[in-house]
Amino acid sequence: MNFSSPRCTAQGSRGLSLFYLETRLGGGAHNSLELVRLKDKLGTRQLPTAEVLLDGSTAHLVGTEGRGVATISPMLTVTRLHNSIISAAYMRRILQLSRDYSTRRTVVETRGCTLLGLETARLVGLKEAGLATKSDTLLLRLLNSINKLYTAKQAVAVISEGLESFGGAGYLEDTGLPVLLRDAQVGTIWEGTTNVLSLDLLRVLQKVGPEILEVVTDTVKSRLSRLPLARCQLESEADLIRDRMQDVVTFVLRAMGEEPQCLEVAARDLALSLAHVYISMLLVEQACSDRASPSDRVTAERWCSRSLQLSPLTSYTKSQTAADLSMVMDGHRLSHSIQPQHSL
């Protein structure tokens, strides 16, 4: 059994519709499905992906006609969460292998990504249990995209570094190591690429407005305010987190009001900046808990000192964006539709 989303053919229908389709009909007869080919993928070969031709297949409409994407979108919340947990697990696996290898002959990213994934899972749990507040729901809408794009991106970088720690063995297939990098790469592609999810973040900002930024800011500040920061010697880190959160809010409000065309160009850096800030809060929170280890505090300190050097949001102005385009495309003939709009 599977779900498919062919385009509606009824006159006047728009978009995609969702259908429930069984591979076999009553009595065991095939439901007019033709396997065209198996896709030759870079990784995740243990999960075959195929192109299937539906020719006269019997299917049942699920939800409203023309609202297929909206009908299936709740599933994306869960699958994107799954993706982030898998990415964190890949990082943890390569770290554990590298640790073991180093004792026979480390990386902060895994902890931050794990906390971000578990925080998103907590919000999903509240929503499914009917206990989520309006703020929880808005926060989940934002973190769902940020969590998936950030953990997937970091998994590729961390695993690549991990392979290096094995020297030549990290490049040999019979060690079982290269497959980790190949399989992790798909995380940046399926369920929304980094750019697609960054633009989804912008759509949320434009649809909900400044209120959603207030929710994130209030969440970060209120959770930091409840921590014994002085006892944990993390006061300066908490101040830095608050400052960087305000920097993000200031940039978004300025861009939405004065230079909205730059906001789309900055979408990726905006998403990464929000991820850095929120992970910083989670790491400081973890370091101040009763069950914290000495390494938790060191992790929080180092993360804040390294990762809160924000992505260059201040560089996104009309002239600088045009300069970036000119620099990247220098020597390449631009189509009329993407010619720089501003003088350099």
Report percent pLDDT > 70 for the chain. 88
pTM of the model: 0.76
pLDDT at 41: 80
What gap in Å lies between CA 38 and CA 54, rounded to an integer?
15
What gap in Å lies between CA 296 and CA 293, rounded to an integer?
5
Q: What is the mean pLDDT of residues 158-172?
A: 89
pLDDT in tens, 202-226: 999 989 988 999 999 999 999 999 9
pLDDT in tens, 264-311: 889 999 999 999 999 999 999 999 999 999 999 999 999 998 888 655
Report percent pLDDT > 90 for the chain. 42
pLDDT in tens, 245-256: 999 999 898 888
Q: What is the mean pLDDT of residues 130-134?
A: 94
Confidence class of residue 340 from pLDDT cuts 50, 70 and 90? very low
Q: Which residue has the higher pLDDT, 316 or 32?
A: 32
How many helices and strands, by DSSP H and E, does the chain display?
12, 5
178 Cβ neighbours under 8 A, 6+ residues apart:
163, 170, 171, 172
Q: Taking 90 as the threshold, does the pLDDT of residue 336 lie above it?
A: no
